[in-house]
Amino acid sequence: MIRIVALTDTGHRLGKKIAALMSLEQTPYEVWFKPQPFIEKVQQAFCDGDALIFICATGIVVRALAPVLNSKHTDPPVLVMDEAGHFIIPLLSGHEGGANQWASDLAKHLSAQLVITTAKPYIEPVYAVGMGCERHCGAEELQQLLETCVAKIGLSMAQIHSINSIDIKVDEVGLIACANRLGKSYQTFNQYQLRQVEHLLSIKSDYVYNTVGVYGVAESAALVGAQYVTDGTPELVLNKVKTKKATCAIAKAYPQHTNLNTTNTPIN
């Protein structure tokens, strides 16, 4: 649900104009004009995960929402506009919540000036997959797991840059075949490289560590794969998903340069 909050008559007219645009896109929305009690209503909407467009002063929004802010990874997107519709600001959850892109799209529809203050607002993240598996796990099973994981977080396979694993899987036929089928780079990293991101893992397995020297193959390989190709700080967007024979995780990072390595040469 999208809530459009307006505090003046002029802002209310703009809110209804925005709502008309959203109705064309069949997006659920509601226009709130001078909602009462204001603080309680907007805080509850925010906590419920509703995307919010405020047509009012930025300071009002900051003071209203400050007590309920949690994390950029979980907070819903929040936009702020002036009542004349001249400027639009993605205030919260710019990258992770999609506020930057949402504001950009809305600015085009309204001929408004987009005002983005987050770093690298127009750079798309690079997504890397990490996979581990039993020896001789089939390419079909690996591909099915990968496709399920990609769909789970709303990505397309075209957005995936590479498939990554630990160096003991450099000759794993199923992983190589899966990567080739999908036209993706297949890269492997040694245990010392993978240990550099262990502080970012969602879970650490002593069993895996005692077996291969790292606390988790899929998550570690995804993180290092994303970091390797971008030089950026990686983060998990999908924690490890496990089947009987394989594991898969997905990480992203923002490029610090544009020379992305897309070859299929394994990296040890």
CATH number, position 240? 3.30.420.180
Same domain, 155 and 85: no
Same domain, 69 and 9: yes
CATH number at residue 56: 3.40.50.11220
**The model's pTM:** 0.57
With respect to residue 259, please indicate whether it lies within any of the assigned structural domains. no
pLDDT of residue 266: 38
Inter-residue contact 172 to 130 (CB < 8 Å): no
Same domain, 136 and 100: no
Same domain, 105 and 130: no
- Using alpha carbons only, what angle is made at residue 208 by residues 203 and 209, rounded to the nearest 5 degrees? 90
Same domain, 92 and 190: no
pLDDT of residue 268: 39
Euclidean distance between CA atoms 245 and 249, whole angstroms: 14
Least Cα distance to 105 among 32, 21, 3 occurs for 21
Residue 8, CA atoms < 13 Å, CB-side half-sphere: 11
The stretch 27-53 carries a mean pLDDT of 92
- Cα dihedral sign, 147-245-200-168: negative
With respect to residue 266, please indicate whether it lies within any of the assigned structural domains. no
Same domain, 139 and 247: yes
Q: Please report which confidence band the pLDDT of residue 137 belongs to, taking 50, 70 and 90 as the band edges.
A: very high
With respect to residue 105, please indicate whether it lies within any of the assigned structural domains. yes
CA 150 vs. chain centroid, Å, equals 12
Same domain, 131 and 249: yes
110: containing domain = 2-114
- Cα dihedral sign, 111-156-125-180: negative
Same domain, 143 and 215: yes
1 sits in which H/E element:
none
Cα torsion for 96, 87, 79, 200, to the nearest 10°? 20
What is the domain count for the chain?
A: 2
